[in-house]
Structure formats: structure tokens, C-alpha cells
């Protein structure tokens, strides 16, 4: 009996319109502005990193081009010049330009989290430009491994 009295009264209620998502409340404008600012900041940061690492990409490509060269004094000098140019770009000229010999090879090794160069490669990098017998005793496979190690250094050295 009570249900019969309540039901006719409930049927007459009209539900409200659904809540619109637009226009948003003022707090959402603040959230949108903050998100937009963060997005712009992230894009600018990524662009700066991309530009800052241009020397890495260029050096990596030049090392790739060196893979077709044979082991000789000119290609070893070119390899050292590429590594030196990248080092000067990543570090200061004062810190890198004067390095040669074993100090140069040790610098390359220490500037990477994991040393990509074997002792044979370090010896070739440090003395090979001046010692023709080192170049003559270097196998083509070892030269290719040295170039791959140099590419690894190019990608992973700390700057």
C-alpha cells in the first residue's frame, strides 16, 4: 500500500541535464597552462641535447666510413683526429689538446664508464701513428674491433 502511494510521485521527477565538460573551471586552465609549459620545456631540453650531441653523430658516421679503410698510418691518424675532435668538443680544449701517447689512451679509457679499448688498442692509439711496425702487425679484424670500440666510446663517453 505504501508503495502504491510513493511510485506515482517518483515518476514525475525529471533528471538533470548531464554535466558539461566545457567550458572548464578556472582551476583546469591553470593545469593546462602548467602542462603546456612543461611540454615546451621538455621539447626545448630535448632539442638542446640533440644539438649538443651533433658531434657524436657526426663522429660516429665518420668512424663508420673509416671501416672501409685499410690499416695504415693515415687511417690511424684520422681515427686519432676524430677521437681528439670529439674529446675537445665534449671537454675543454685545455684539458684534452695537450694529451698524447699513453696519457691520451688513458684519458679515452677513463672518460667512459666501461673501458671499450683493449691494451692492444690503447697501444695502437698511443704509439701507432709513430711506430710503423705496430700498424704492420695489426690484423684487419683487430682494426675493425678498434673502430667498433671507438664508436662505442663516441656514443657512451661522459661529457
Cell digits for 66? Answer: 673509416
- What 8-state DSSP symbol labels residue 12? T
d(CA 118, CA 142): 10
Greatest CA span in the chain, whole angstroms? 112
Residue 39 has a pLDDT of 98
**Could you tell me the CA-to-CA distances from 127 to 100, 122, 130, 148, 152 in Å, in that order?**
9, 8, 6, 19, 21
Burial class, 142, CB count within 10 angstroms (exposed 0-12 / middle 13-18 / buried 19+): middle
pLDDT digits (tens, 9 = 90+) for 64-122: 999 998 889 999 999 999 999 999 999 999 999 999 999 999 999 999 989 999 999 99
**Confidence at 25, pLDDT banded by 50, 70, 90:** confident
d(CA 45, CA 121): 36
Question: So where are the chain's domains?
Answer: 2-51, 53-156
pLDDT digits (tens, 9 = 90+) for 128-137: 888 888 888 8
pLDDT at 157 over 70: yes
Q: Residue 30: count other Cβ atoms within 10 Å of its Cβ.
A: 10
Cell digits for 122? Answer: 690503447
Pair 122, 107: CB distance under 8 Å? no
Residue 3 has a pLDDT of 54
Residue 105 has a pLDDT of 94
Amino acid at each position: 500500500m505504501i508503495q502504491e502511494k510513493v511510485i506515482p510521485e517518483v515518476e514525475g521527477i525529471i533528471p538533470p541535464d548531464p554535466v558539461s565538460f566545457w567550458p572548464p573551471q578556472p582551476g583546469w586552465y591553470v593545469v593546462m597552462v602548467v602542462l603546456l609549459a612543461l611540454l615546451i620545456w621538455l621539447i626545448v631540453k630535448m632539442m638542446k641535447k640533440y644539438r649538443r650531441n651533433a658531434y657524436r653523430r657526426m663522429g660516429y658516421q665518420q668512424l663508420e666510413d673509416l671501416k672501409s679503410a685499410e690499416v695504415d698510418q693515415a687511417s690511424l691518424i684520422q681515427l686519432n683526429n676524430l677521437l681528439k675532435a670529439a674529446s675537445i668538443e665534449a671537454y675543454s680544449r685545455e684539458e684534452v689538446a695537450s694529451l698524447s701517447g699513453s696519457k691520451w689512451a688513458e684519458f679515452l679509457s677513463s672518460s667512459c664508464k666501461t673501458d671499450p679499448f683493449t691494451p692492444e688498442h690503447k697501444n695502437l692509439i698511443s704509439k701507432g701513428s709513430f711506430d710503423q711496425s705496430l700498424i704492420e702487425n695489426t690484423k684487419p679484424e683487430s682494426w675493425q674491433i678498434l673502430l667498433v670500440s671507438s664508436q662505442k666510446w663516441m656514443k657512451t663517453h661522459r661529457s
